[in-house]
């Protein structure tokens, strides 16, 4: 599998899932737990598994606020994945949540597949951003954190270091 994107999830529960259905889970102490090997495709989404590295934050982030420690752990996990896989486009795709995808309806028949492919196939996004996904994952609070700060911090951190090849 050549990774094209990182998809961020929450586990929606407070204990580590076993078996771990993601590639990585970041716990409340910011520690990273490895699940499915990155050489394998997960079943963590309905339509967007191929080419995706799945990183989940332990917890349910629909209404709760995440600690700085766990935020830092998530930033590190994203940056490490970017440095490990230069094939992942370093773009924040959290600015286009599924709920706002109606703008795609204004594109022409020729433009639409291109826009959808671009949306689907690259960058760092939330589970709910994936085409055909009907989910609240990774939770509104975490979604907004990623959109506004965490993904940009992770990209800047990755850009400040050499890739791990």
SS3 at position 131: coil
Task: Please state the closest distance from residue 33 (CB atom) to Zn ion, in A.
Answer: 16
Q: Which stretch binds Zn ion (CB under 5 A): 1-9, 13-21, 112-120, 146-154?
A: 1-9
d(CA 5, CA 93): 10
- In this structure, the chain runs to a length of 165
Q: What angle do CA 92, 96, 99 make, to 5 degrees?
A: 150
- Counting contacts by CB under 5 A, is residue 137 touching Zn ion? yes
Q: Report in angstroms the alpha-carbon separations of 90 from 29, 34, 97, 122, 160.
A: 26, 22, 18, 8, 13
Nearer to Zn ion, 125 or 127 (CB): 127
Give the x-and-dash track for 94-113 against Zn ion (CB under 5 A): --------------------
- Counting contacts by CB under 5 A, is residue 125 touching Zn ion? no
Structure tokens at 111: 């433009």
Nearer to Zn ion, 12 or 115 (CB): 12
Q: Which of 5, 9, 23, 147 binds Zn ion (CB under 5 A)?
A: 9
- Counting contacts by CB under 5 A, is residue 127 touching Zn ion? yes
Residue numbers at the binding site for Zn ion (CB under 5 A): 9, 127, 137
């Amino acid at each position: 599998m050549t990774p094209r994107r990182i998809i961020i999830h929450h586990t929606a529960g407070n204990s580590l899932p076993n078996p771990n259905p993601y590639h990585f889970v970041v716990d409340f102490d910011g520690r990273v737990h490895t699940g499915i090997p990155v050489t394998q495709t997960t079943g963590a989404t309905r339509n967007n598994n191929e080419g995706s590295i799945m990183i989940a934050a332990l917890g349910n982030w629909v209404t709760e606020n995440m600690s700085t420690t766990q935020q830092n752990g998530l930033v590190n996990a994203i940056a490490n994945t970017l440095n490990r896989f230069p094939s992942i486009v370093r773009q924040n795709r959290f600015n286009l949540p599924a709920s706002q995808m109606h703008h795609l309806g204004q594109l022409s028949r020729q433009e639409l597949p291109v826009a959808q492919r671009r949306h689907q196939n690259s960058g760092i996004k939330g589970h709910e951003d994936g085409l055909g996904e009907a989910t609240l994952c990774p939770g509104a609070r975490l979604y907004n954190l990623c959109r506004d700060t965490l993904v940009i911090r992770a990209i800047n951190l990755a850009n400040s270091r050499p890739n791990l090849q």
